[in-house]
Amino acid sequence: MKEDFKFVIITGLSGAGKSQAVRVLEDADYFCVDNLPPALVPKFVELCAQSGGKIKQVALVMDIRGGEFFRALTEALAYLRHHEWPHEVLFLEASDEVLIRRFKETRRRHPLSGEGSILDGIKNERQALQELRGRADKVIDTTQLTPAQLKEEVQQLFLRQGQSPVLLVRLVSFGFKHGLPLDADFVFDLRFLPNPFYVAELKSLTGLDQGVKEYVFQASFSHDYLNLIQKMLEFAIPHCLVEGKAQLVVALGCTGGKHRSVAMAESLRDKLLACGQRTVVEHRHISEGV
């Protein structure tokens, strides 16, 4: 059904924060495409309609980088209106001074500056986008906004009623002998838990096997530690969301990354999912021995 779809067209001035805005929607499970030629919008809409309901929220970034292709955006918006596809246009802008500073910080050339200055490019772009800005459903001036403030504004505008930002918890089992995961936000040491490596019939198995799980959790303190980790994460997650994090990497380590860390990651994943927390598991060293 068309009313179930939501298309957000993100456009505006170069350097105003379009890339950040689309990342916010991507974290909110929008299907996002950056720098899509507007002429492809009808075909893209058709593909979404044929997805069997798998794609319902879409964010498309279309801006002056498209060159000659960008001129077709007016026709693309007309197509969406004519066929009654729900859509909104978000236009991002900022002051000349701020845009110049941002371009200097990134050392990038403005797409419309040619052989002129950055300011020349900004003025050319403002003029080229003047009509589109007037058609925008929502305009955000990012001149005084921090990245966190822009993220909050985009969330307030485009997250559905009752929908809250969802942080993804990525549980990573690993072996200390292979080194600490460089992307970890939290690291928990499991090397004091019962070790199946010293049980002949369990040594060749992994934490995915029931016998290994039962051996690791035969000790009451294994359950206690699991519950403590869960409580710590439940405490930290809301604060991580306030800080603008989209993903929290929790590393669970034993000696080799094959037995205890895997069993703990699997059990913690089940507990977090049962509480409605979006969670995935990655076993980095499960096949590399102990």
- The Cα 141–Cα 102 span in angstroms is 14
Both 71 and 134 in one domain: the answer is yes
Residue, of 30 and 108, whose pLDDT is higher? 30
In a domain? residue 258 = yes
Calculate mean pLDDT across residues 266-285: 92
Both 8 and 95 in one domain: the answer is yes
Both 138 and 188 in one domain: the answer is no
In a domain? residue 19 = yes
Both 144 and 225 in one domain: the answer is no
Query: In total, how many domains does the chain have?
Result: 2
pLDDT of 43 strictly over 50:
yes
In a domain? residue 163 = no
Both 220 and 248 in one domain: the answer is yes
In a domain? residue 288 = no
| CB-count burial class (<10 Å; 0-12, 13-18, 19+) for 230 | middle
Domain limits for position 26? 2-158
Calculate mean pLDDT across residues 201-213: 94
Calculate mean pLDDT across residues 25-46: 88
Number of Cβ atoms within 10 Å of the Cβ of 285: 24
Task: Determine the pLDDT at residue 3.
Answer: 66
Both 209 and 274 in one domain: the answer is yes
pLDDT of 259 strictly over 50:
yes
Both 84 and 187 in one domain: the answer is no
Residue, of 7 and 115, whose pLDDT is higher? 7
Both 128 and 172 in one domain: the answer is no
pTM over 0.75: no
Task: Determine the pLDDT at residue 162.
Answer: 47
Report whether 186 contacts 253 (CB < 8 A): no
Token digits for 260? Answer: 């205890």
